[in-house]
Chain A
Amino acid sequence: MLHIKCPHCGMRSQNEFSYGGDATVKRPELGEEISDHDWDNFVYNRKSLRGRHWELWQHLSGCRQWIKVERDTATHEIFKTLKANEDIS
């Protein structure tokens, strides 16, 4: 089982969280001129690599906040967690 350190609540078990996918994907700005390819990259295309991966989780059965988690997709080691509004450095 994963143990995820929620930046708001502290260390909690995976059962309290739901997964939200790649955290580096950004929705194109509203009103911005974008190509079909840009839109595809936002909606469908994902790198999904082996190793370090920044991803969104929601502390659904806790504080209900969305958070960012840096996790290794092969070992499941968690390196860092951030609040949703904090930037990945």
Chain B
Amino acid sequence: MQKYSVFSLVKNALSNHENWDLAWKDPTPKNEYDVVIIGGGGHGLATAYYLAKEHNITNVAIIEKGWIGGGNVGRNTTIIRSNYMHDENALFSEFGMDLWRRMSQDLNYNVMFSPRGIINLAHSDAQMNTYARRGNSMRLNGIDAVLLNREEVKEIIPMADFSENVRFPIFGGLMQPSAGTARHDAVAWGYARQADDMGVDIIQNCEVIGFDVSAGKINGVRTSRGDIKAKKIGLCVAGSTNILAEKLNMTLPIETHLLQACVSEPVKPVLDKVVTFGAGHFYISQSDKGEMVMGGDLDGYNSYAQRGNLPTLQHVLTEGIAMMPFLSKLKMLRTWGGIMDMSMDGSPIIDKTHIEGLYLNCGWCYGGFKATPASGWTFAHTIAQDRVHELNAGYSLNRFNTGHLLDEKGLGTKTWIS
């Protein structure tokens, strides 16, 4: 594989960029693989990469119904953070932060990781107390957390509404300085290119039609491009998990919902942090191109539409304008939607299943993108070793049965119903 560097850039410039290697091949599926990963999104590609890199399992296929990187890895608002209170979430996410910091070098692909910091705003004394508690929990787990008072927040984001007569005054905020953003599609391309180089077959336009299960064991998968045998199959299809679960006669603690995001027209640099509104659900950052990148609530009813509904967008942007009034002057450039696995406690599932050789990676709710490297790493471990790693032990499927829910927000089940 050609290494990407300033030298290869200059060299290829001399031949009008006509001699670059393909970033990944377009193979015909073989009859059998050691491992088949279903889903060519960020998590699936990362899983294949870590199977090859960490476990020397290279006879692997990724099968993808559409094209790789066409789902939520290319639709999210690119936020990367580990500001969780519960140990399971905090340790898993912070492990991921280490992978993010090294990712551009590891993948020889510039994912433009930008650790610019995230601020969760607080709008009451009670919320400041909650954030102090969360910040302390984070610091006990080795994650950077800074509790900011009103004046300190004003210093950092003076464009927020600090006037006296507002419905949700800013009391302060909790900042994780090491959090940030990355170029989301580059994450998919980077993992795909390296996985392909190590021998993984990336098979696009290949839809799963059914599974071959006998005597409680998985034997293979039936696809639109023929049957493929495999003793181990990993599902990485957040957003379509319920559809594939149906084909496996499984019913999961997941509902499929739509989440929207949007960007404004590009403007000059104004915001160098990720900021979230604490009195509702709204988050914002500014892209390198200058667009304000914004998102918030789910549309609120089960959906596979991959496009949004205006009432929710209006609701979300009303919160945005309450937080940063200058946003009302901006024109909206684009809005879009992605479909989410909403798990019943707000936390993901990375686990084995009751079917031998079938592994499940799903339930990412709002937070799939930032988890991409840690999810791929732990899922690869779970598949290769046929046992969960301690980092994803808390993300078990049977926690809903045993009562060991991982409810970060303390909202209980069906957190999307308001």
Contact = CB atoms under 8 A, between A and B. Distances in A.
A40 B304 contact: no
Given A21-B417, A44-B344, A49-B242, A76 B254 contact: no
A73 B256 contact: yes
B296 to A, nearest CB: 16
B309 A2 contact: yes
Contacts of B417: 18-21
Nearest to B403: A36
Contacts of A9: none
Interface string B390-418: 00000000001100000000000110011
B300 to A, nearest CB: 5
A45 B251 contact: yes
Contacts of A22: 255, 302
Given A19-B417, A44-B344, A1 B310 contact: yes
Interface string B230-257: 0000000000001100100001111110
Contacts of B246: 47, 49
B386 to A, nearest CB: 25
B305 A46 contact: no
Interface string B290-317: 0000000000111111000111000000
A43 B413 CA distance: 8
B414 A21 contact: yes
Contacts of B301: 19, 55, 71
A76 to B, nearest CB: 6
Contact of A74 (B254, B305, B401): B305
Contacts, number: 74
A15 interface: yes
Contacts of B256: 48, 50, 73
Interface in A13-63: 14-15, 18-22, 36-37, 40-41, 43-50, 53, 55
Contact of B242 (A37, A40, A47): A47
A85 interface: no
B300 A19 contact: yes
B243 A49 contact: yes
Nearest to B342: A48
A45 B318 CA distance: 34
Interface residues of A, number: 28
Contacts of A43: 344, 400, 413
A44 B255 CA distance: 9
B309 A73 contact: no
A86 B252 CA distance: 28
Contact of A48 (B255, B310, B401, B413): B255
A1 B309 contact: yes
Nearest to A37: B401
A89 interface: no
Contacts of B300: 18-19
Contacts of A53: 302
Contact of B243 (A37, A40, A50): A50
A14 B305 CA distance: 16
B309 A14 contact: yes
Contacts of A73: 256, 302-305
Contacts of B252: 45-46
Contacts of B251: 41, 45-47
A20 B256 CA distance: 14
Nearest to A46: B255
A36 B401 CA distance: 7
B254 A46 contact: yes
Contacts of A75: 305
Which 7 A-B pairs have CB atoms at the shortest separation, nearest pair first?
A: A44-B253, A45-B251, A50-B304, A48-B255, A48-B242, A74-B304, A19-B301
13 contacts: A19-B301, A21-B414, A40-B401, A41-B251, A43-B344, A46-B242, A46-B253, A46-B255, A47-B251, A49-B242, A74-B304, A75-B305, A76-B305
Given A73-B305, A74-B303, 4 more contacts: A14-B309, A18-B300, A22-B302, A71-B301
Interface of B: 242-243, 246, 251-256, 300-305, 309-311, 344, 400-401, 413-414, 417-418
Interface of A: 1-2, 14-15, 18-22, 36-37, 40-41, 43-50, 53, 55, 71, 73-76
